[in-house]
Structure 1
Amino acid sequence: MTVDEHVLLRLGLARVVAGSGDIDLIGDAGSADEARELILRVRPDVVTFDAALTGTDGFTFARELRAHLPRLGLVLLSAVADDALLYRALDEGLSAYVTKASPSATVVSAVRHAAVAPDSFTAPGLSAALARRRASNGLLSQRERQVLSLMRDGISLPGIATRLQVSEATVKTYVARLYTKLRVNNRSQALMAAVNQGLLSSVDAA
């Protein structure tokens, strides 16, 4: 079953799986609310969904489904190729991550994987993405990570200094190091770079 607000995407996926020979698309929905009722009724083995859904986000939706159907295969079918989304899909326990621009065979392969191994994760370029994540994790010191997290939470530099019990000048030094290591010029760029490199899960509070 597929959940996506775009009708053309749902029609396209139906055409893709129709040619697979071993996959049946037994339902499609345009919103999370519509999908919840349909999933309980048709009981699919795999659900594909976007990160952005009407009424909720894809990861919240996936957690809800897994809570009630622990063996359900979950495939994040994303509009963009993004390391941060891949890392989150992995950390959230999804079955697969592929983009809507992927070849049909890649999408079909992800669905097959999710059907037989819903608790394991696969994604195109997974090994390379994990290598980038390991490299990023070694990029910042523990203190720089603390400063970055507080920046994400919208804390001012004086506020960060108070939280960490250091001088504001010291905080400015940490921030300058962050900008240099992330190759950015301001807070917004630093937060986005950190998300893209898997150093932060989100910048919602920024």
Structure 2
Amino acid sequence: MDSTLVLKQLNFRKDETKPIMVLLVDDHEIVRNGLKMILQNQTDIEVIGEASNCDEAIEQIRTKQPDVILLDVKMPGKDGFATMEEIKKVGCESPILLLSGYNYEFFAQDAIESQSSGFITKDSTKDFILNSIRLVVRGGLVWERDIFRKAISNLKLQQKMQLNNEKLENEAPLLTELLSPREQEVLQFLSGGAANKEISRSLSLSEISVKKLVASIIHKLGVKNRTQAALAVNKYTIKDHFG
């Protein structure tokens, strides 16, 4: 299990003599059959039920009380993460191993945030799947090491980008602090591609006055021309006339 990352101290099961009761939840019968073939010859693991969607899974959980749930993340209707929420609502505390067939790096990030007991892919080896079931039923959190590292790295990058965006937004000056009300009106027209003559007519100003206002806007925004002034609007917190 060199590729396995176990993130919690393991506990003993209440009754080690009983097999681990597993519920398979996947909308593809071929996947469920493949998993059953892997699990069926294990003396310590028993498949007690199957489900192809959220509603069937909840019904199986209520009647059969599985020890471990293998849950596909991508299902029609309610996906694996929504199904997890429904499982929690019925009071089931059984560990959930999320299962993904593709785009696993994207889903792995969601799996971390959803606090599932682990994440395995449909390409995982037989031994990895079996050992994952045995570990999570004892309280472990199981991941394939490389997938976990990539998911954590992506989450950190997303958090950093979010912090940077929030910082930029908080530091962005208000246009109302930079420009006069009349200059804000002119800039609104500039951002729409209006020429001086059109602005002059719309605001009942002379073209000379409009030219002076445009020059003032360019200077205050620190840009080189009217086109850059129009594009610079996106850099500022916009209120009032631009809200």
TM-score range, shorter chain: 0.5 to 0.7
What TM-score comes out, normalization by structure 1 length? Answer: 0.64
Secondary structure, aligned partner of 2:96: strand
Candidates 169, 180, 189, aligned match of 2:231? 169
The runs of 5 or more residues in structure 2 that have no matched partner are 1-22, 170-187, 189-220, 222-228, 237-243
| Correspondence for 1:195 | none
Report the CA distance between 1:106 and its aligned residue.
1.4
Which structure 2 residues correspond to residues 91-110 of structure 1 after superposition, within 5 A? 91-110=113-132
The runs of 5 or more residues in structure 1 that have no matched partner are 148-157, 159-165, 175-206
Aligned CA distance change for structure 1 residues 136 and 35 (closer, same or farther; 3 Å)? closer
Report the CA distance between 1:108 and its aligned residue.
1.5
Describe the superposition over 1:28-53 as per-residue Cα deviations: whole angstroms up to 9, x where unpaired.
11222222112111110111111122
Q: CA RMSD in A?
A: 3.1
| Correspondence for 1:6 | 28
Candidates 26, 35, 48, aligned match of 2:70? 48
| Correspondence for 1:122 | 142
Q: Contact 1:66 / 1:72 at 8 angstroms: preserved in 2?
A: no
Amino acid at match of 1:36: I
CA distance in 2, matches of 1:171, 1:99: 46
Aligned CA distance change for structure 1 residues 37 and 168 (closer, same or farther; 3 Å)? farther
Describe the superposition over 1:13-37 as per-residue Cα deviations: whole angstroms up to 9, x where unpaired.
1111123331111111122222211
The sequence identity of aligned pairs, in percent, is 25
Amino acid at match of 1:74: I
Which structure 2 residues correspond to residues 9-158 of structure 1 after superposition, within 5 A? 9-117=31-139, 121-124=141-144, 125=146, 126-138=148-160, 142-143=164-165
Report the CA distance between 1:64 and its aligned residue.
1.2
Which structure has the larger Rg over C-alpha atoms? 2
What TM-score comes out, normalization by structure 2 length? Answer: 0.55
Describe the superposition over 1:95-139 as per-residue Cα deviations: whole angstroms up to 9, x where unpaired.
11111111111112222222121xx53211223432343345445
CA distance in 2, matches of 1:57, 1:145: 34
Q: Contact 1:32 / 1:54 at 8 angstroms: preserved in 2?
A: no
Q: Contact 1:93 / 1:121 at 8 angstroms: preserved in 2?
A: no
The higher-RCO structure (CA 8 Å, 6+ apart) is 2
Secondary structure, aligned partner of 1:49: strand
